[in-house]
Amino acid sequence: MQDLSAHGADQRVIDAMGEIPRENFVSDGQSHAAYDDAPLPIGERQTISQPTMIAIMVGALELRRSDRVLEIGTGSGYQTAILATLGREVVSVERISSLADAARDRLSTLGFDNVKVYGADDDLGYLPESPYDAIIVSAGAPKLPRKLISDQLADRGRLVVPVGSLEAQELIKVVKTPDGFTVRSLGACRFVPLIGEDAWPEGEADAHLDSS
Ligand code: SAH
């Protein structure tokens, strides 16, 4: 993590994080740890991301007030709230329906009316509301999600995604250009697996989660 700290520590992101009560997004019994700089379990073998990692990822999106954002992997909805504070609208997809329902409830209780949380299917992202100015993938992919970049990211759009093995990934920032896209590494990271057609097969991801 230390090698990432130089990147993306944008003051607007830090201010937005200061406005969101993280204790509202952690499981019962975890509130004592809500402000630790650590990932925490949120049920269903998934985790709420580490705050430092969220700051780096959201910072790398270089969000403007007018931006529409796609988040893949709503999880607790904590990062969704930060994105909704900085951008115009957030579309967030989550493949575990109990997590999607809980996140939707939390976000509406906190008064976020510019967020839509959808259940995910096998195709990555949410094509009907594309293109997005920024896309944030909150789970680890085996390879760069090229179809997501070509079909759902707007021209000059930014995308961040952890790419690597099930055990360890590199955080990759993609910027879409008129000729294709540029790619830059932001350092090492470790996420739960991204599951689906263009990602890890469910069985393989489950075996990994059972053993970790
Ligand atoms: N940023 C979230 C992290 C959630 S963990 C938070 O801070 O709470 C990653 C989430 O991605 C998990 O909830 C997992 O179920 C979800 N996920 C994995 N593959 C997915 C896919 N293809 N589409 C949508 N969600 C996915």
Domain segments of the chain as ranges:
62-211
- Rounded CA separation 95/73 (Å): 7
Residue linked to tokens 């294709």: 180
Please give the pLDDT value at position 5: 45
The partner residues of 47 in beta bridges, in order of sequence, read: 41
Q: What is the pLDDT along the chain (212 residues), one digit of tens a residue?
A: 334 445 546 889 999 999 999 999 998 888 899 999 999 999 998 999 999 999 999 999 999 999 999 999 999 999 999 999 999 999 999 999 999 999 999 999 999 999 999 999 889 999 999 999 999 999 999 999 999 999 999 999 999 999 999 999 999 999 999 999 999 999 999 999 999 988 999 999 988 888 87
Please give the pLDDT value at position 1: 38
Please give the pLDDT value at position 9: 67
Structure tokens at 47: 């985790």
Asked whether the beta carbons of 48 and 102 are under 8 A apart, the reply is: no
CA of 139 to the centre of ligand 1 (A): 6
Peptide bond into 131 cis (omega under 30): yes
Please give the pLDDT value at position 2: 39
- Rounded CA separation 84/114 (Å): 6
Q: How far is CA 102 from CA 20, 34, 96, 191, in A?
A: 16, 17, 10, 21
Please give the pLDDT value at position 122: 82
Please give the pLDDT value at position 129: 98
Please give the pLDDT value at position 10: 84
- Rounded CA separation 46/39 (Å): 10
**Which is nearest to 92 in space by CA: 122, 71, 62, 67?**
71
CA of 211 to the centre of ligand 1 (A): 19
Backbone region of residue 63 per phi and psi (left: phi > 0; alpha: psi in -120 to 50; beta: other values)? beta
Q: Which residues line ligand 1 (CB under 6 A)?
A: 42, 46-49, 72-73, 75-76, 78-79, 93-96, 99, 120, 124, 138-139, 192, 194-196, 199
Residues assigned a catalytic role? 49
Residue linked to tokens 């976000």: 107
Residue of 35, 74, 118 to test ligand 1 pocket, by largest number of atoms within 8 Å of CB? 74
Asked whether the beta carbons of 63 and 57 are under 8 A apart, the reply is: no
Please give the pLDDT value at position 185: 97
Which of ligand 1's atoms lies nearest the C-alpha of 96? Answer: 15
- pTM for the predicted model, two decimal places: 0.95
Fold for domain 62-211?
Rossmann fold (3.40.50)
